[in-house]
Structure 1
């Protein structure tokens, strides 16, 4: 008798995630006895779900993963962080980078890599 695994799988609605996971979500891949309960939300919500251990598999910010690395294994594929590919700081007008602390900057979430890098640099 086969046992069926039900795994809670979180990912974001960003094009990278939806493209990569399309075959699993739409059952074009035989996952045998594994069933997924998908949860789609922005990365900060996914980070919080991981902190609360609510998801078995999830997309995470690198910053958030550092806080839960003992509970989640980092895969060697699927990463979207690298030199020259974001996060980006954009503005309607020219900013003086030396006066960045004088500006309001929107972030995608407190535990995101974008926020971590903004605070470092």
Structure 2
């Protein structure tokens, strides 16, 4: 079975047991490590033809922002993804006096225009930036904080471990998208989804992933070497913070509140014209 997920600590922690043949019944995995922007594009390119079937993995980690475009071909799995509280993207500036309204005339760097982070940023800006956002530039996420620090851009939308390290760049948090979302909706924040081709046995795949999550929780040290091998020179303490934040109860099972959060986010984004509307029944396949 071909699977694609990021080299980030939360994903390698979750899928370690599956990738290493430690979950009974799991087929041998052919793993692609890829940035979520790449997996979003792969999922969108799959049309069921033989050529795209060869090119696109069977199971992928994608942004929830990309989900409405692929739900006819892929099913959302109820486990393995990233959804939680206190884990939202941050808007950072070098000048502590910058306020939200000023972003209407400033340049903001974002990691992708197809990400859940950018979707949340757009929804937040609709409430807090009169007249709309200024110039948006896309940079690899690891380049955003240096660009803000050095004045190449006025603000940056950051994700992943940047939440734990931005102060070392002398930066200031203008807004936390997770805090805003939770205060506005009372719901956890959806970030990354695990999807599988609808032609496959999604229930069995979900069982394998859930077993891999449970193994990771039971034997947290077992995956350490695998996690750090893919953590892009990340400090081990930061990698552990990353795992602790993004791997939580919703990783094991989305549950009612998880599905409610996903639909609330996608429905609000659709109302803003950011994504197509979806039928909520499409979300619960297993």
- 8 A contact 2:65–2:119 mirrored in 1: yes
Q: In the aligned structure 1, how far is the partner of 2:116 from the partner of 2:123?
A: 10
Rounded to whole Å, the distance in 1 between the matches of 2:88 and 2:65 is 14
User: Which of 111, 115, 118 pairs up with 2:114?
Assistant: 111
Q: Which residue of 1 aligns with 2:16?
A: 22
1:99 aligned to 2:108?
no
Number of the residue aligned with 1:120: 123
CA apart distance, 1:83: 4.2
CA positional deviation for 1:108? 2.1
Which of 74, 79, 82 does residue 80 from structure 1 map onto?
Answer: 82
2 CA distance for matches of 1:70 and 1:47? 15
* Cα separation, 1, equivalents of 2:34 and 2:61: 10
Contact (CA 8 Å) 2:21, 2:28: kept in 1 or not? no
1:37 is aligned, of 30, 38, 60, to 30
**Aligned-partner Cα distance in 2 for 1:103–1:83:** 29
Deviation at 1:105, TM superposition (A): 2.2
8 Å CA contact 2:39–2:62 kept in 1: the answer is: yes
Q: How far apart in 1 are the matches of 2:7 and 2:94?
A: 26
Determine which structure has more spread, i.e. the larger CA radius of gyration: 2
1:31–1:92 CA distance, 2 compared to 1 (3 A) = farther
1:47 paired to 2:40: yes
Aligned counterpart, 1:57: 59
Structure 1, unaligned runs of 5 or more: 1-6
Distance in 2 of aligned mates of 1:29 and 1:105: 44
Give the whole-Å Cα distance in 2 for the aligned partners of 1:79 and 1:99. 34
TM (norm. structure 1) is 0.83
Report what 2:129 is aligned to: none
